[in-house]
Structure 1
Amino acid sequence: MGSLLAQLPALIGVLIGTVGTIVATSLADRSRWRRTQTVRWDERRLDAYAEFARALKEVHATAGRLLPGRKGPPVDRERELANLVEADFRHTLAWENVLLLGDGPTVTAARAWRDAVWAIERLVRGVPTDAELTDLLHRANEARDHFYDAARDGLGVGGGSVAQATLLQSRLGDRDLPFTRDVHPG
Structure 2
Amino acid sequence: MGNLVGQLPALLGVLVGAVGTILATSLTDRSRWRRSQTVRWDERRLDAYAEFARALKEVQTIASRLIGGHLDRDEELTALAEADFRHTLAWESVLLLGDGPTVTAARAWRDAVWEIERLARAGSTGDGLPGLLHRANEARDAFYGAARGGLGVGGGSVAQAALLVSRLNAGRGSHGKRGA
**TM-score, normalisation: structure 2:** 0.90
Q: 8 Å contact 2:67–2:123 — kept in the other structure?
A: no
Aligned to 2:51: 51
**TM-score, normalisation: structure 1:** 0.87
- Give the aligned residue type for 2:66: L
- Give the aligned residue type for 1:36: S
Pick closer, same or farther for the CA change 1:67–1:142 going to 2, 3 Å.
same
SS at match of 1:87: helix
SS at match of 1:5: helix
Aligned partners of 2:171, 2:158: CA distance in 1, in Å? 24
Moved more, 3-12 or 166-175: 166-175
Q: What pairs up with 1:1-186 in 2 under 5 angstroms?
A: 1-68=1-68, 74-126=70-122, 132-173=128-169
Structure 1 gaps of 5+ residues are 177-186
Aligned partners of 1:174, 1:80: CA distance in 2, in Å? 30
Q: Give how far 1:175 is off.
A: 9.8
SS at match of 1:160: coil
Aligned partners of 1:89, 1:175: CA distance in 2, in Å? 35
- Give the aligned residue type for 2:65: R
Aligned partners of 2:153, 2:44: CA distance in 1, in Å? 15
Alignment deviations for residues 93-130 of structure 1 (CA, whole Å, 9 cap, x no partner): 000000000000000000000000000000111188xx
Moved more, 165-174 or 23-32: 165-174
- Aligned pairs, number: 170
The higher-RCO structure (CA 8 Å, 6+ apart) is 1
Q: 8 Å contact 1:116–1:136 — kept in the other structure?
A: yes
Aligned partners of 1:172, 1:82: CA distance in 2, in Å? 29
- Give the aligned residue type for 1:5: V
Q: 8 Å contact 1:134–1:172 — kept in the other structure?
A: no
- Give the aligned residue type for 1:100: L
Query: How large is the RMSD of aligned CA atoms in angstroms?
Result: 1.8
Aligned partners of 1:89, 1:172: CA distance in 2, in Å? 31
Alignment deviations for residues 120-173 of structure 1 (CA, whole Å, 9 cap, x no partner): 000111188xx8221101000000000000000000000111000001122334
SS at match of 1:172: helix
Structure 2 gaps of 5+ residues are 173-180
Aligned partners of 1:170, 1:115: CA distance in 2, in Å? 24
What is the identity percentage for the equivalent residue pairs of Structure 1 and Structure 2?
75
Moved more, 119-128 or 17-26: 119-128
Q: 8 Å contact 2:55–2:90 — kept in the other structure?
A: yes
Q: 8 Å contact 1:134–1:175 — kept in the other structure?
A: no
